[in-house]
Amino acid sequence: MPETISFYFDFVSPFSYLAHQRVPGLAQRFGYALDYRPIDLRAAKLLAGNTGPATRDMPVKLAYARKDQQRWAKRYGVPIKAPISHDWSRMTRGAFYAIDRGQARPYVAHVWHHIWGQGGEMNDGVWRDAARAMGWDAEAFAAFTEAPETVKRLEASTREAGARGVFGVPTIMIGDEMWWGNDRLDFLEDYLQERATAAVGEGVGR
């Protein structure tokens, strides 16, 4: 079994969208399985003791963040546009539906393209479009996203993340090693390369 990279994310996060442009490729390149871990960012921040305002509630910080997002989007060659809505919890819960069906990566990529690639709005058309793109029954998918069991599943995932030390997204973890933020992926790549080189030196095939 390949080792695992855990990718903690919430669709509300533009930097998670940006990190996802690179993390799947790193996992594939170094032979790791990519484990998608949806969490509730707001709840995760509160669990970590972060009670401050969101970036979008601080105009000066928001202006910088928007410019920084554009820089990273240009580097990755993807579009980025601020969404109309910031309540994407339904789609984050829907990620579990995709995970259960082995379709996490295409679902996450599809939804993020709508949210941050196109600056989309949270409405009924979003989940219907996602279900159609994945080949799912739209009503079954919608029911799943609103089910109490699914709400509890997201809460449990968020608590588990907090127990591992996750305080924001995107967070990438391999065992106890953690990298927070799209701008830390070079360090992740260095770590993966060092482990790969060490494995070759020890005669261990990956």
Could you tell me the domains of the chain? Answer: 4-201 (3.40.30.10)
**DSSP secondary-structure letter at 182?**
G
| Cβ proximity of 34 and 5 under 8 Å | yes
Task: Return all residues near 128 (Cβ < 8 A) that are at least 6 apart.
Answer: 138, 142
pLDDT at 204 (0 to 100)? 58
Contact 78, 117 (CB under 8 A): yes
13 catalytic, yes or no?
yes
Angle between helices 138-146 and 124-134 (to 10 degrees): 120
Side chain identity at 127, as an amino acid letter?
Answer: W
- Residue 205 pLDDT: 54
pTM over 0.75: yes
The region of weakest confidence among 124-133, 136-145, 150-159, 190-199 is 124-133
Q: Which of 87, 107, 84, 86 is nearest to 36 (CA)?
A: 107
Phi and psi of 38, rounded to 5°?
Answer: -70, 135
Q: Do 119 and 83 touch, CB atoms closer than 8 A?
A: yes
Q: Phi and psi for 118 in degrees, rounded to 5?
A: -115, -5
- Measured on CA atoms in the order 178, 28, 34, 137, is the torsion positive or negative? positive
> Which two three-digit tokens encode residue 73?
């989007």
Quick: pLDDT tens for 89-131.
999 999 999 999 999 999 999 999 999 999 998 887 888 999 9
206 pLDDT more than 70: no
Q: Catalytic one among 13, 16, 89, 157?
A: 13
Three-class SS state of 5: strand
